[in-house]
Structure 1
Amino acid sequence: MPSARNGNEDTDAKHGVQAAETVLQVLTSFIDAEPMPTLKNLSERIGMHPAKAHRYLVSLCRMGYVEQDPETSRYRLGPLSLRLGLAAISTVDVIRVAKPMMHEFCEALGHTTILAIWNNGPTIVLKETAGRFVMLTAVEGAVLPLFRTAIGRTFGAWMPRKRTENLLARELAQYDPHPKPGFPTNFDEAELLFSEIRKRGLARITDDQSKSIHALSAPIFDGSSELVAALCVVGPAGEFDSSWSGTTAKGLQRAAGLVSKALGYSAKA
C-alpha cells in the first residue's frame, strides 16, 4: 500500500506545481514585451494582479532570472534567463550545422565572423574572433537593432514583416525626429532599403552608418526556403573590404551558401 507521501508525489506528478506554473507565466510575460517593461505592463500582459506579479518578480530577481533597474524600477530578463535561452537555442539545427564551420569561415574571411538567429530580435549565437579585433558589444546572446547592424538589416530584408514590424516601428520612431544619413525614417524608406538588400543578396554597414567598424551580412535559408539565420563578417573600417563584389563579400556568400545547403536549401535558378 503506498504511503501518504508517495500518494502526494503521484498527485503532484499528474497535476504539476501551481507555483512553478505561475513563475513561468511571469517569465513568459517578457516575450514580445516592450524593452524594459514596467510592473503594470507585465501584469496586464498575463492578467495577474500587480501585487502578485511583484512577489514573483522579487524571487526571480533574487535568482538572477530577472533584473530591475534601480532608477526606473523597470524590469528586464537577467543573466540566468539568457543562459537558459542560449541552452535552448543551441539545439537549433542551423547552430548545430554552422558551429563546426565557424572557425574555418573566420580563417578564410580574415575577420571576425558572427552567426545570428531571430529570437525576439536579431540575436548573436556564435562568434569567431579574428586576430586582435574584438567587438565588446558582439557577445553571444546580444540582441541587435535592425537598422544599425548588417545582421539586423538582413533580417529586416528577408524575415516576414509580421515578425519584425514591432521592432521596425520602435526603431523608425527613434530616427523620425532625428534623421541620420543612411537610415530610413518611415516604412516606405525601410522597404526601399530592404528591397535593395534582397537584390544584392547582402546587407552592409559602412561609413554612412559607422565610421570605425564595417560589416557585411548574408542570409541563411533552410530546406523550406525560410530565413533561419544571418552570417556576418565584421572588421575595422581601414582594413575591411566592404565592396559589394569584393573578395570578402564573395567569400561570405559562399560560406552562407554552404550552411544553407547543409540545411537542405536549394537556390532557384
Structure 2
Amino acid sequence: MLISAPFEEREEREDPARANGSASGLGRALQVIYAVGESGPEGVGVSALAREVGLSKAVAHRILKVLSDDGFLSFESDTKRYTLGPGALQVGLAALRQLDIQRIVRPLLERLVAVTDETATLSVRQRWSRIYVDQVLSPQEIRMSVTLGHPYPLHAGASSKALLAAMDDEEITRYLATHSLDHVTATTISSRDQLLAEVAMIRRRGYAVSTGEREAGAASIAAAVLGAGGRVLGAISVCGPLHRFQTTEMPHYGALVAGAAQEASRAAGYRP
C-alpha cells in the first residue's frame, strides 16, 4: 500500500526490533485506521486515539498526518478530530464490490421482504464491530431503514448478537475482555453473564432476537451466514417497528431468517 511505505521506513529507523508483526509501521497504521473508523461520524482526536491504540501521542500524530496527507483520513480543523477520508471510502467500496456474500444474499433479502413485509438487511463483521452493507426496504409506509457502513458494537442488536454467537469462544472471551458492554438503548444487554447466556441460547435456537436493544421501538431477528471452514461472513436480519413483532410471530420469523442464512451459508461453501 502506498500509504505505508514512508511511515514504515521511519518506524524501522526508530526501532528495528519493532519492524515486524502488529508492532510494525503498517500494523500501527492499520490500528489507527480501525480506531478512526470505529469512532463514528464525529471522529476522534489525537489524544483519545493514542490511548485507544496504546501509542504515544507523538507517534499517533505522525501516523495520522501520513494517512491524512494521502487522503485516507480527513482532518477537521475546527474540532481537531479525524474521520475516514475519500481514500478509505474508495477502498471500502472496492471491498464491498468484491464481497460475494452480497451477491448471494440479495435475492434472499428480497424473498424475506416479500414474505414478511418487513425490512431485511445484511451485516458483516468489521474487526470488533458490525456494519450494515445492504438492505431491502419494507413496502409498508411505516418501516425500518438502517444506515449502511455505520459501526455498531457486537453486543447490541440481533445482527450483532448473531455474529457474536457464531464466533468461537476464544474470540468472544477476547471481546468481553477488551470492550465494555455500554448501553445503546435502555434495553441493551450490559451484563457479561447475561450476554453469555444469550449467546448460548442463540446457538441452540439458531437465531437472535432484539426488542429495542439497538434502537428503541424497533425489533429484529437475525441469523449468521457462514463460509468455508465455518468462517463468519455476515448476518441476515428482518427488522421493523416493535409493535408489529408479536411474541407469537417471533418463532415464525426466526425460522424464515435462519433458513435464509443456512441457504446463504451453503452457497458460500459452508459444510457442517
Normalising TM by the smaller chain, what interval? Answer: 0.7 to 0.9
Q: TM-score, with normalisation over the residues of structure 2?
A: 0.72
Q: Greater shift after overlay, 99-108 or 71-80? A: 71-80
Whole-angstrom distance in 2 between the partners of 1:179 and 1:84: 32
> Residue 97 of structure 1: CA displacement?
1.7
1:146 aligns with 2:139: no
Aligned to 2:117: 110
Q: 1:247 to 1:116 in 2, by over 3 A?
A: same
Match of 1:77 among 84, 88, 112: 84
Whole-angstrom distance in 1 between the partners of 2:64 and 2:254: 49
1:89 aligns with 2:91: no
Structure 1 contact 216–242 (Cα < 8 Å) conserved: no
How many residues end up aligned between the 2 structures?
Answer: 244
Please give the residue correspondences for 1:225-264 in structure 2 after superposition, counting only pairs within 5 Å.
225-241=230-246, 243=248, 246-264=251-269
For structure 1, list consecutive stretches of 5 or more residues without a partner in the other structure: 1-15
Whole-angstrom distance in 2 between the partners of 1:114 and 1:179: 20
Q: 1:173 to 1:108 in 2, by over 3 A?
A: closer
Structure 2 contact 105–264 (Cα < 8 Å) conserved: yes
For structure 2, list consecutive stretches of 5 or more residues without a partner in the other structure: 9-25
Root-mean-square deviation (CA, aligned residues, Å) is: 3.6
Aligned to 2:189: 183
Aligned to 2:63: 53
The letter for the 1-side match of 2:135 is: K
> Residue 189 of structure 1: CA displacement?
2.9
Whole-angstrom distance in 2 between the partners of 1:83 and 1:183: 35
The letter for the 1-side match of 2:104 is: V
> Residue 146 of structure 1: CA displacement?
2.2
Structure 1 contact 203–217 (Cα < 8 Å) conserved: yes
Q: 1:254 to 1:22 in 2, by over 3 A?
A: same
1:156 aligns with 2:164: yes
Q: Greater shift after overlay, 251-260 or 90-99? A: 90-99
Secondary structure, in 3 states, of the residue corresponding to 1:260? helix
Whole-angstrom distance in 2 between the partners of 1:84 and 1:264: 26
Aligned to 1:13: none
The letter for the 2-side match of 1:183 is: I
Whole-angstrom distance in 1 between the partners of 2:46 and 2:212: 40
> Residue 235 of structure 1: CA displacement?
0.6
Structure 2 contact 156–188 (Cα < 8 Å) conserved: no
Q: 1:79 to 1:161 in 2, by over 3 A?
A: farther
Structure 1 contact 112–133 (Cα < 8 Å) conserved: no
Q: TM-score, with normalisation over the residues of structure 1?
A: 0.72
